[in-house]
Structure 1
Amino acid sequence: MEDNRTYLPPEWNNEERMRVLLGPMPQTQDIVARNARLTFWSAAIHLWCKRTNKLVFTLQETLAAFRRGTQVPLCIPEVLVHMNSTAEVLPISELPLGEQSQESWLRWGQRIFVATPARFTWNKFKKIVGVSNVEGTTYVDRVMLQEMCDQVIKRYWESAAKNYPVNLPVALPHLYHRINECIGSADNLHLIVETLAYQEQAATTVHNGTTYVKFLMPGDTSKPDITMADLAEINLLCALEQVQDNINNINAEITEQQNNAKSSLQSGSKVQALSCLRKKRRLEKSLSKQLGALENVSNCLQQLQETRINKQILHAFKTGMQAIRDSFANDISAEGVANTMDELQEVLEECKDINSVLATGVMEEDVDDSSLQEELDQLMSTDQKSLTHHDELIKSMSGLTLPDVPQSNPLSSLNAQPSSPTVKATP
């Protein structure tokens, strides 16, 4: 029976090879075999996580994923311990998540000089004595996690302008609906967002029971921040959407009550028709109020967005002013400009002197002018003779005439047959 698991390595169909790989880990003395086994299963686990979009897994899930008939890889526990020691995978409890809070110097010293060395020493001790809690540990593939983090940021900014306002916090359910094909489950998205928050590439907050995330803009280095203006704009957008839904529902109910009134009149129930019309009238009053609320929410949202745009413009002005001030601060003053102009004038004078020297040319040797005059007269006489000969040739050719163009074809006479001579009879 064909195996449809796409993450399986190419050696999976090799019976002899897999019988060795599924066996227990070789002894410590056989370093080559141990390294080969660790390399094979580490690559297989990474490929399994990538093909199935699986960030979090346990030992039992790993054994089930690589079960081959009744055989399971017996060396997987030691492989996970090795991958943990190289930080390829980490227990989810040790994974740094969430935004980093400002800690005091005392707390920083305790974390650096006490907590971290103690944890490192304990892990080394467990490895030496052979004690590990692999069976009860939930691991996270750090390589796959970082790849998914980069993919989420890339996909978000590719579709941000089309699906939601740029640089505005987005709800996690909305974000998951847009990029679920590249991250798998919603739990993966929560893990990715918390990791990005720890890396200061995103900021998160819980607002009205929904988690919102704001990503770092491309090219920006400062940590993103969710402000009260962002939350207010989110509230207005939610209110605007809710009012629009209410208006659509009321319009549908008004149409339904109007149709019911017509049906009641056709069936002869005048009282029922009047009741439907009263409901329709109440719905129309409610619709008028909802339209007023829609107008108010739209105006407030527009003013808030204009305020945010004005704030960005003001920030741009401040940045430009600071850039101009910094540029003038670097030796750009009245005295500095005067010194620069003096230096420039000196350089221009040096260039002028150099150009004047180059313009004098190279001194030539004295040449006898009389010999030059004789050579010039000889050239002129030669040119005069050539000109006279040319004029005589033109005069001799002017007397020549060409025959007139014939009016008929000269060859036509050749086609005519000669007539027979007439013989006169003698008397």
Structure 2
Amino acid sequence: MDFIPDWDDDERMGFLFSFFPPSRNANPSHWDAKLAFWTEAIEAWSDRTGNLVVSRRKLEQTFRRKRSTPACLATVLDEMKKSGKLREKSSFLRRRGWLSWGYDYVAQTVRWVTKRASGGGQDKFSADAEQQLVVRSVIKAVAVDLARHVRESALYRESARGMISLDDLKRFAEESCPRFFSTVQEHSDNLALVILEMTEANLLVVHEELSVVKLSEEATDKGSSAITETDVAVYRLWLTERKLQADIGRLTQKMTWLKSRAKGLLSEKRRGEALGLLRRSKQLERMLSQCEAHQTTIQLQLDKFEGIATNKMIVDTFSASSAALKKELSGLSVKKIEDVLEGVEEALAECNEINEAFTAANERIADDSFDIDELEAELSRLTVSGPKQESEEAALFTPAAAAAPKKAVQEDEDVSPEKKETAKRSTERTRAELA
């Protein structure tokens, strides 16, 4: 039991082997911990050993430890059934009818278990010990895994529209998943249960009359692909083509042997017998030609069906893409686009008007409100009075003019303050005019 933690811990396992308390409310944490431990242990054992169906008696034997068996398994199995982690095996068989190849054994097993559980004066405790329960998490994983293996196999690629006979599926399952589909007695009904699980999970559908299954094109919640009348017709053509192929191989081999035997008889000078064998060889050659002609016709029909399926797929793709384009273009129209573009043109025109207004305002501000005519007249006056003004300015910088301030300073001492102030103001006015 290397896959079970704490299996060698006596104290821990003593607690886990004990009965559950009468009510979960007494100690919810211990109750939940013990239930989780045994749930994981049962699922791990089922997956490792390939036993999709368990019973309390089988589990007590499996988990026996130091001459003691878990006393809590009855409660564990009841809780797992309530939560949907276990399912009664008999409930799977309610969808019988198509399972003719494997149902008999499964039904016999359930009837035998039910008879033992209900007869012989056994009590309910003993009956529950024999009840067959399917581990849901494991069978779901096996169903998905088997569907994936089949889809990736040459068996599926060479099939007719994904339809596979139950016998071919059984052989493939035994080869690809021997842990669950071996020939041992305990696994003999596993495939039937897995197929039922796959039908419930929409992984495949079953055709009862032909004893074939068809894998869904894609596992979705919408359901698997149904087997249509076209599928049935294609499958029967495919079966006929396979039979013709086998007949062609058999006839070819027999013709080769007859010719070889006729050649040997001829060497022994048994010409009559050799001629009879050669005649038989010619008859087989005619049969071979007919078989090859029929095979060619069937192959042409299969190619037609394949072409129709391809065309239908292309049309469906175009239809889906057209619907997607229409959905993306919803809300768009030529009128709406024209209105939007017209709005853009109006906005651009308004922007241009605003820019022109800003340009005109800037030009007025730079002009500073000066009249050009006045400026031209003043420039003319300056040109006329230019030589006279230059001579007056030159006189101000002669030596005599430079000495004049010194003399004025000496005379200032004899001048009254009022006269000084008057002279000062006059001088300032003169300087201002010159500037």
**Shared fold per TM-score greater than 0.5:** yes
Q: Which amino acid aligns with 1:65?
A: T
Larger Rg: 2
Of 203, 206, 231, the residue aligned with 2:205 is 203
Task: State the Cα distance separating 1:66 from its structure 2 match.
Answer: 2.1
Task: State the Cα distance separating 1:63 from its structure 2 match.
Answer: 2.3
Q: Which amino acid aligns with 1:168?
A: G
Equivalent position of 1:9 in the other structure: 4
Helix, strand or coil at the partner of 1:203: strand
Equivalent position of 2:145 in the other structure: 151
Task: State the Cα distance separating 1:26 from its structure 2 match.
Answer: 5.1
Residues 1:16 and 1:269: Cα distance change in structure 2 (over 3 Å): farther
1:51 aligns with 2:48: yes
Helix, strand or coil at the partner of 1:11: coil
Task: State the Cα distance separating 1:162 from its structure 2 match.
Answer: 7.1
Of 129, 134, 142, the residue aligned with 2:128 is 134
Is the Cα contact below 8 Å between 2:248 and 2:292 reproduced in 1? yes
Task: State the Cα distance separating 1:192 from its structure 2 match.
Answer: 3.4
Q: Distance in 2 between matches of 1:170 and 1:63?
A: 39
Q: Distance in 2 between matches of 1:336 and 1:200?
A: 47
Q: Distance in 2 between matches of 1:71 and 1:290?
A: 69
Equivalent position of 2:89 in the other structure: 92
- The more displaced of 185-194 and 143-152 is 185-194
Is the Cα contact below 8 Å between 1:204 and 1:211 reproduced in 2? yes
Task: State the Cα distance separating 1:196 from its structure 2 match.
Answer: 3.6
Q: Distance in 2 between matches of 1:247 and 1:40?
A: 61
Helix, strand or coil at the partner of 1:72: coil
Q: Distance in 2 between matches of 1:80 and 1:148?
A: 21
Equivalent position of 1:335 in the other structure: 335
Is the Cα contact below 8 Å between 2:160 and 2:238 reproduced in 1? no
1:225 aligns with 2:226: yes
1:215 aligns with 2:216: yes
Q: Distance in 2 between matches of 1:31 and 1:253?
A: 77
1:40-189 correspondence to structure 2 within 5 Å: 40-68=37-65, 70-94=67-91, 134-159=128-153, 163-164=157-158, 168-178=162-172, 180=174, 181-182=176-177, 184-185=180-181, 187-189=189-191
Q: Which amino acid aligns with 2:64?
A: R
Residues 1:262 and 1:313: Cα distance change in structure 2 (over 3 Å): same
Task: State the Cα distance separating 1:346 from its structure 2 match.
Answer: 3.8
Residues 1:63 and 1:302: Cα distance change in structure 2 (over 3 Å): same
Residues 1:72 and 1:275: Cα distance change in structure 2 (over 3 Å): farther
Q: Distance in 1 between matches of 2:155 and 2:349?
A: 58
1:247-258 correspondence to structure 2 within 5 Å: 247-258=248-259
Question: For 1:171-203, what per-residue CA distance to the aligned partner results, in whole angstroms no more than 9, with x for missing partners?
Answer: 344345445544722744443343343344433
Task: State the Cα distance separating 1:257 from its structure 2 match.
Answer: 1.4
Is the Cα contact below 8 Å between 1:233 and 1:304 reproduced in 2? yes
Question: For 1:187-242, what per-residue CA distance to the aligned partner results, in whole angstroms no more than 9, with x for missing partners?
Answer: 4444334334334443332242x231231426895642221112222112221111
Is the Cα contact below 8 Å between 2:203 and 2:216 reproduced in 1? yes
Residues 1:142 and 1:232: Cα distance change in structure 2 (over 3 Å): same
Question: What TM-score do you get using the length of structure 2 for normalisation?
Answer: 0.63
Helix, strand or coil at the partner of 1:12: coil
Q: Which amino acid aligns with 1:202?
A: L
- The more displaced of 245-254 and 50-59 is 50-59
Q: Distance in 2 between matches of 1:52 and 1:354?
A: 85
Residues 1:227 and 1:211: Cα distance change in structure 2 (over 3 Å): same
Name the count of aligned residue pairs. Answer: 327
Residues 1:349 and 1:231: Cα distance change in structure 2 (over 3 Å): farther
- The more displaced of 351-360 and 132-141 is 351-360
Equivalent position of 2:417 in the other structure: none
RMSD (Å) for aligned C-alpha atoms? 3.8
Task: State the Cα distance separating 1:44 from its structure 2 match.
Answer: 0.8
Q: Distance in 2 between matches of 1:350 and 1:96?
A: 80
Question: For 1:388-418, what per-residue CA distance to the aligned partner results, in whole angstroms no more than 9, with x for missing partners?
Answer: xxxxxxxxxxxxxxxxxxxxxxxxxxxxxxx
Q: Distance in 2 between matches of 1:320 and 1:242?
A: 42
Q: Distance in 2 between matches of 1:96 and 1:336?
A: 62
Question: What TM-score do you get using the length of structure 1 for normalisation?
Answer: 0.64
Question: For 1:112-145, what per-residue CA distance to the aligned partner results, in whole angstroms no more than 9, with x for missing partners?
Answer: xxxxxxxxxxxxxxxxxx9895224221112223
Task: State the Cα distance separating 1:16 from its structure 2 match.
Answer: 5.2
Is the Cα contact below 8 Å between 1:193 and 1:213 reproduced in 2? no
Q: Distance in 2 between matches of 1:358 and 1:96?
A: 89
